[in-house]
Structure 1
Amino acid sequence: MRPQVTNSASGSSAQPTRSAQEITPKERRRVLTGTLVGTVIEWYDFFIYALAANIVFAQLFFAPAGEEFQRIFSLVTIGLSFLFRPLGAAIAGRLGDRFGRKPLLVVTLIMMGIATTTMGLLPTYDQIGLWAPFLLLALRILQGISAGGEWGGAVLMSVEYAPKGRRGFYGAFPQIGVPTGMLLASAVLAVVTWIAPGQAFYDWGWRIPFLLSLVLVIVGLFVRSAVDESPVFNEIAELKSNDKAAGKANVKPPKLFPKFGIIVMFGILLIAGNGASGYMITGGYIQGVATRPIDDGGLGYDQVGVQLAVLVAAAVWLISTLTSGWLADKYGRRRIMALGWFVQAAGIIPLFELVKNFGVTGVLIGTSLLAVGLGMTYGPQAVWYAELFPASVRYSGVSISYALGAILGGAFAPTIAELLLNGLGTTWAIVIYLLAMAALGLVGTVMLKETRDIRIDYQFEASGDWDKWNNRELPLSECLVADEPHQAAPAMAETASAEPAKS
């Protein structure tokens, strides 16, 4: 029996709140800026925490664990927040599908800002004892909950505002929040380690990047407050309002996992395959290995030099991400993603040999090569996730798939890498792990359907045509957007039934 996803208002004369022609290029630029600035702040916060966890938190917050385990505990806190991302995704997804994308973007940004700024004010273990690591963990959990809901809303705003044939490129903008946040974090940390070198960085310098997050959040709130609600959500809200005015009961959207569980499962593999390798850089693992003293298990490279090398890699990642989003509009989501996994594998294989044997230059070359493949497998993800789910559950589907994938692939990747290195004594064990995760990403890519230019308006779902496409009863060629992705097709408005779908 097909789940009852109907639109009782679609037989009326109701039209979407705004026509395609009313959305100006200026408004679209404002939306892209708003979605980008939030993800930049999210990932800036993540990067500075990950780098601090690799470099200073082990000694400042986890000293009682002893030299053998304090770094492991510190690295585990990086992954801890990921365990709470699904909670944030479920809450934000539920509220975002019901009340809109924009309010959640503002709330999650405020939560991230509070958590990160407070970390910069925390006393250390020497000052307040066990309260220090417990407070750090509590703030890390708050970061995870807020991050779990932020990304999905940003993706939907950018994709649902995109003009015809440019969703992949628009969807890449929240994706470049990762390399842009890494650029910003690397630049700030390079300046801070120059201003406060050596012991000064351990004593007080590490706090500066966390406190600067408050300034970024204020800027982000200013930008996002000027962004209008998604046109697709406005369409849903108006049709439901018309139903209510006509005395008709609104049909509840279907439950996510019973109907869309297969899409969620294979969607998880996409971010998992990308995340495991990505978190070698974004999780600070490469930087930690490169900069820790030799007698502390590291390579003893210059901290500023390593941060600048990673900054260049972040720029490469940014360009690759935008380019892959653009290519996904021309050649399809699956084709570009599939190619990207092979490029990513080509960057994984020589990574650690370059880092170990060629100093800071090896860090620059190794991370930059990896960044090309990371961008190719990350850029098209946003638009593909958004197009795979129908409008009524899109926020939930996108956010939860991404959050669960981040747990599988990224949450504990640095910890797993450290355990593999300690247990087997060779970085080739890490390489095999990363290649296996990339292979999972390729499996997810092969199993998911191509969605380029598919309709994403609510009428497409309400008419039952989304079900037909999902069940392979309608080919993609008969489900393509005719004009703008958020503009409902009049034909669908006439054919959508007010009656529940038949068995």
Structure 2
Amino acid sequence: MQGFGVGGEQAGAVLMTAEYSQPKRRGFYASWVQIGAPVGFLLPLALFAALNATLSPEQMMDWGWRIPFLLSLLLVIVGLFIRLRIDESPVFEQIRETKAAESRPVIEVIRDFPGIVAKGVCAKLIEACTFAMFTVIVLAYAKANQLNETMLMETMIIAIILEVMIIPVMGHLSDKFGRKPIYITGAILQVIMIIPFFMAINQDIFWLTQLVMINSSDIWP
């Protein structure tokens, strides 16, 4: 369900931001949309930390865990309001005025550009899989191998905060050097870092875990 939600809205948000932006600054402005993922990861962590600090374990299990889900409804309302009120980009309006817009765009794109679609899916898989590995799977791995989960979470939070600051920088670099060089470099570094990452966290040393967490998570394409 999360995948359908993100896939349906994130891509459109990036596209509209890019279309509204100046051609020479599209990478920078579109990169701000990508900040939503790490910020969305940090906010629940902060909220759960606050709830754990103020509620007893019994209260947390009884009703406290529902609070984040109820608060998320506010974000749904805000998102729906923006989605219904925002105008189409000038680029799309120009296409629609010339009647060049397809009535079934998904089918047309897959039929006419299968290679580009396949490349796009593979490129997104690299990002999505590594995001899941460095933020979700790693915690399950730590629990299964009796590693220090608290330390791992702390290093993850620090790395994600740094990521929020680095994403616009990478967007700017993509405007300067091109999308492909930046993305391919990030993808290669991600693959290279997988084995050293898990080797390092097995040592259960804070500074070493923090180092590989930053090097692994902050090079997302």
Q: TM-score, normalised by structure 2?
A: 0.82
The answer to whether the aligner puts 1:156 opposite 2:15 as a matched pair is: yes
Q: Equivalences for 1:34-73 in 2 at 5 Å?
A: none
State the 1:160 CA deviation. Answer: 0.7
2:123 is the alignment partner of 1:270: yes
Q: Kindly tell me: are residues 329 and 204 of structure 1, through their superposed partners in 2, closer, same or farther at Cα, counting changes over 3 Å? A: same
Pair 193,369 (structure 1): closer, same or farther in 2 beyond 3 Å:
farther
CA distance in 1, matches of 2:112, 2:149: 51
Alignment correspondent of 2:140 = 288
> 2:164 corresponds to which letter in structure 1?
L
Cα distance between partner residues in 1 of 2:82 and 2:109:
32
Unaligned ranges ≥5, structure 2: none
Structure 2 CA distance for aligned equivalents of residues 361 and 201 of structure 1: 32
Instruction: Please name the residue that 1:4 is paired with.
Output: none
Q: Is the 8 A contact 1:345 1:373 kept in 2?
A: no
Q: Which residue of 1 aligns with 2:95?
A: 236
In structure 1, stretches of 5+ residues that fail to align are 1-80, 82-142, 244-249, 378-503
**Residue matched to 2:32:** 173
What letter corresponds to residue 174 of structure 2 in structure 1?
A
Q: Distance in 2 between the 1:202 and 1:329 partners?
A: 48
Aligned-pair CA distance for 1:149: 1.4
Alignment match of 2:111 (pick from 255, 258, 271)? 258
Over alpha carbons, which structure has the higher Rg? 1
- Mapping 1:75-154, distance limit 5 Å: 81=1, 143-154=2-13
Pairing 1:182–2:41 present: yes
Greater helix fraction, Structure 1 or Structure 2: 2
Q: Which of these residues, 135, 146, 149, is aligned with residue 301 of structure 1?
A: 149
Q: Give the TM-score normalised by the residue count of structure 1.
A: 0.39
In the alignment, which of 320, 339, 352 is matched to residue 198 of structure 2? 352
Q: 1:306, CA displacement in angstroms?
A: 4.4
Does the 8 Å contact 1:166/1:329 carry over to 2? yes
Check whether the contact 1:301–1:360 (CA below 8 A) recurs between aligned residues: no
State the distance in 2 between where 1:257 and 1:251 align.
13
Change (3 A) 1:328 1:300: closer
Partner of 2:213: 367
* Residue type at the aligned position of 1:316: L
Work out the CA distance in 2 between the residues paired with 1:251 and 1:220. 26
1:208 to 1:277, Cα distance in 2 relative to 1, 3 A: same
Following superposition, the deviation at residue 215 of structure 1 comes to 2.2
Give yes or no for the alignment of 1:343 onto 2:189.
yes
- Which digits, 9 at most, give the CA deviation of each residue in 1:9-68, with x for residues without a partner? xxxxxxxxxxxxxxxxxxxxxxxxxxxxxxxxxxxxxxxxxxxxxxxxxxxxxxxxxxxx
The verdict on how the C-alpha distance between 1:330 and 1:144 changes in structure 2, with shifts beyond 3 A counting, is closer
Partner Cα distance (1:152, 1:315) in 2: 23
Shift of 1:263: 0.5
**C-alpha root-mean-square deviation of aligned residues, in Å?**
2.9
**CA 1:315–1:347: 2 relative to 1, 3 Å:** farther
**Is this contact kept in 1: 2:159–2:214, CA < 8 A?**
yes
Match of 2:67 in 1: 208
State the percentage of identical aligned residues.
Answer: 36
